[in-house]
Amino acid sequence: QSKSNGQNQYCFFTPDMNEEVFKKLLLESDLQKAMKEGQFQLYYQPQVSVAEGEVKGYEALLRWEHPERGLVSPGDFIPLAEETGLIVPLGRWVLEEACRQMMVWRNEGSTVSRMSVNISAIQFQQPDFAQVVKHVLAQTELPPEYLELEITESIVQEPEQAVPIMKEIREMGVKISLDDFGTGYSSLSYLKDFPLNTLKIDKSFVDNMEHGSREKAIVDAIINMAHRLEFNVIAEGIENEAQLQLLSGEACEEYQGYYYSPPLPSSDIESKSSFPPL
């Protein structure tokens, strides 16, 4: 601090960096406090069948209700939670909370049979990850078939380690989907080894589909390839009728997006759903 006054040549951090480091430290201690004080919350976005418009699943999406900053989106704190390792306990909380909520809805008579939970590569790489999943299922009593884990292509950096864990998870009865397909470390060679149930087409492909036949050809090709590999396909980020129209010409099974519903707190899901009367 004292050296930065008039002696900038000796200062390791530029004022800009200083501010960034400071912000990061602040956010880091905020994150730790947030865990202790229960400031995290899950929102749920419906996953809907293209053909019938029926809700088939929910994706759990993490939200941080910051006391001063209001609702902070995961893009702003997940990278830091990953860097600091806090994603491990936080991710476990997400898994527990999502399974617990699914069990509540199931007991209320909901016919929706899938809860999708995002799993960070850091979490997935923990040696006890499969055990954690098993434990959470036992604890919440959610049947494993109701749970789907969303992983991204970033785990492909270590495919030799990832594939056996994926198989162990599948053997429990839990499903696996590959999120944001086509945006990460895409290499088609690993796809044949991954025991996936679902491939999620990233929003960027869907967005471009409206703009021309070449873009649509890419979506076509992804869907065909997924089906040849016997994966279901979910299109992400459908925002309007035109996109859904285009999609219904494809053999894509399901979609998610603001057009049907944004992610909602659990109470709003309940009031929107037609759970049969008990």
- Within its chain, how far is the Cα of 86 from the centroid? 17
Smaller CB distance to Mg ion: residue 17 or 71? 71
Gyration radius of the chain's alpha carbons: 21
* CA 55-61-67 angle, 5° bins: 135
* 82: contact with Mg ion by CB under 5 A: no
170 CB burial (10 A radius; 0-12, 13-18, 19+)? middle
Smaller CB distance to Mg ion: residue 11 or 264? 264
Residue numbers 231-250 binding ligand C2E by CB under 6 A: 236-239
Smaller CB distance to ligand C2E: residue 184 or 195? 184
Smaller CB distance to ligand C2E: residue 137 or 257? 257
* 57: contact with ligand C2E by CB under 6 A: no
Least distance CB 236 / Mg ion (angstroms)? 5
The number of helix segments (H) and strand segments (E) in the chain equals 11, 10
Maximum separation of any 2 CA atoms in the chain, in Å: 73
Least distance CB 179 / Mg ion (angstroms)? 4
Least distance CB 200 / Mg ion (angstroms)? 5
What letter does residue 114 receive in the DSSP assignment? -
Least distance CB 87 / ligand C2E (angstroms)? 6
Smaller CB distance to ligand C2E: residue 153 or 179? 179
Smaller CB distance to ligand C2E: residue 153 or 236? 236
Q: Which of 57, 91, 96, 209 binds ligand C2E (CB under 6 A)?
A: 91
Q: Which of 27, 62, 86, 235 binds ligand C2E (CB under 6 A)?
A: 62
Residue numbers 2-41 binding ligand C2E by CB under 6 A: none
Q: What is the dihedral of CA 228, 173, 40, 17, to 10 degrees?
A: -50
Residue numbers 139-178 binding Mg ion by CB under 5 A: 150
Q: Which of 30, 82, 96, 179 binds Mg ion (CB under 5 A)?
A: 179
Of 213, 212, 232, 210, the closest CA to residue 223 belongs to: 232
Least distance CB 125 / ligand C2E (angstroms)? 12
Amino acid code (one letter) for 204: S
Q: Are 270 and 237 spatial neighbours (Cβ–Cβ below 8 Å)?
A: no
254 CB burial (10 A radius; 0-12, 13-18, 19+)? buried
What are the phi and psi torsion angles at 147 (to 5°)?
-105, 135
Residue with tokens 């749920």: 44
Summarize as ranges the residues that interact with ligand C2E (CB under 6 A).
Answer: 45, 61-62, 73-75, 78, 91, 94, 118-120, 150, 179-180, 236-239, 256-258, 263
